[in-house]
Structure 1
Amino acid sequence: MAKKTAVGTIGKGKRGISTAGWALRGAAAGAAASTALNAVTYVDMAVRGRGSSSTPEQTVEALAGKAHVPIPGDDETRQNRVQGLGPLTGLVAGVGVGVVVGLVRAAGYRSRPAVGTLLTTAGILVAANGPMTALGITDPRTWSRTDWISDLVPHLVYGAVLKKTMDAFDRP
């Protein structure tokens, strides 16, 4: 029997899905949500004519330096590797947050739509921007209103897509 709270319910769902099953569903939902986030970002870039952010590549460089792991190759090859690894950090964050949401769902928590969307949005914002902030690559306190909107809107779309996908997995 599920216990209702102001923000959702706690209790096993009707489907009897295992913890691993929910983690896999979370990974799939995270991948779908990451695709939606990227699509919104690319549309914004196309509409406003703005360039892509270099912060993912800067994060790869900083993490490699902190871990004392060199990125091999001559200048061009190395730069190409960094450009490939940068966007992968976003995908890892997106799928990882999806797995966490799947594990929370496996534990029995089901949030209301708005609550789940906002919690998931907060989670992906921390997962995506947290490392860059901690490494000193960006400082959200200095962002303009446009910067905030450009960052929040795609992450909000991520949260909505992840929530809807996870809810769809729980339907009987």
Structure 2
Amino acid sequence: MDLTLLSGATAGAAAGAAGCAALDATTYIDMAVRGRPASDVPAETAEAIVKHLPVDVPGQNSRRQNRFNGLGGLSGVLSGVSVGVAFGLLHGYGWRPPLPVGAAAVGLGAMVVSDGTLAGLKVSDPRTWSATDWLSDLIPHLVYGAVTYATLVALEGRR
């Protein structure tokens, strides 16, 4: 097995997990500061994904909804770790822009994956979002990008 591939994927997964934690913390800070509720979008996304699979989520009413809430959160983590792996592989094969450029690329890349999924599944239409909606999406993704890329750079220095 190619050690560059394995090393890049492993570093990317760790970096993506760190980025997910930072994105979640940023989102929770926003909720606390603005007093806004948690988003229903992750659960709605999980429900839309399940509609395309040959499985169903058991339960009725709140139990079923709670399962979708859990699946929505898990899908966000999976997405964040996967984006980290992709950029870890790029980094392992020599992609090393300056920190601000790498952070922005990773954050915007994660945002494209996230928002593209929402649009593709028809959960939300980003074309209809307000400026506040866009900032509420952009800022946590840029924080994700900064932490993910900074972690990749730090892990590179340790190898």
TM category (shorter chain) comes to over 0.9
What amino acid is the match of 1:87? G
* Structure richer in strand, relative to its length: 1
Cα distance in 2 for residues equivalent to 1:68 and 1:61: 13
TM alignment of 1:125-164, pairs within 5 A: 125-164=111-150
Q: How much has 1:50 moved relative to structure 2? A: 0.2
Cα distance in 2 for residues equivalent to 1:85 and 1:153: 23
Superposed CA deviations along residues 107-140 of structure 1, whole A, max 9, x for unmatched, are 2211111221111012100122211111111111
Cα distance in 2 for residues equivalent to 1:135 and 1:121: 21
What amino acid is the match of 1:38? D
Determine the structure 2 residue equivalent to 1:58.
44
Cα distance in 2 for residues equivalent to 1:106 and 1:31: 17
Q: How much has 1:80 moved relative to structure 2? A: 1.6
TM-score (norm 2): 0.93
Cα distance in 1 for residues equivalent to 2:104 and 2:62: 41
* Structure richer in helix, relative to its length: 2
Cα distance in 2 for residues equivalent to 1:18 and 1:84: 34
Determine the structure 1 residue equivalent to 2:27.
41
Cα distance in 2 for residues equivalent to 1:53 and 1:162: 23
1:115 aligns with 2:107: no
> Runs of 4+ in structure 1 displaced over 3 angstroms?
none
Cα distance in 2 for residues equivalent to 1:157 and 1:30: 12
Task: Structure 1: give runs of 5+ residues left out of the alignment.
Answer: 1-16
Cα distance in 2 for residues equivalent to 1:151 and 1:34: 14
Percentage of matched positions with identical amino acids: 47
Cα distance in 1 for residues equivalent to 2:93 and 2:38: 38
Larger radius of gyration: 1
SS in structure 2 of the partner of residue 170 of structure 1 = helix
Determine the structure 2 residue equivalent to 1:84.
70
Count of aligned pairs between the two proteins: 156
Q: How much has 1:77 moved relative to structure 2? A: 2.4
Task: Structure 2: give runs of 5+ residues left out of the alignment.
Answer: none
Superposed CA deviations along residues 76-133 of structure 1, whole A, max 9, x for unmatched, are 3222211111111110111000000111112221111122111101210012221111
Q: How much has 1:72 moved relative to structure 2? A: 1.4
Cα distance in 2 for residues equivalent to 1:131 and 1:107: 27
Cα distance in 2 for residues equivalent to 1:85 and 1:96: 16
1:106 aligns with 2:92: yes
SS in structure 1 of the partner of residue 122 of structure 2 = coil
Cα distance in 1 for residues equivalent to 2:156 and 2:51: 42
Cα distance in 2 for residues equivalent to 1:168 and 1:57: 34
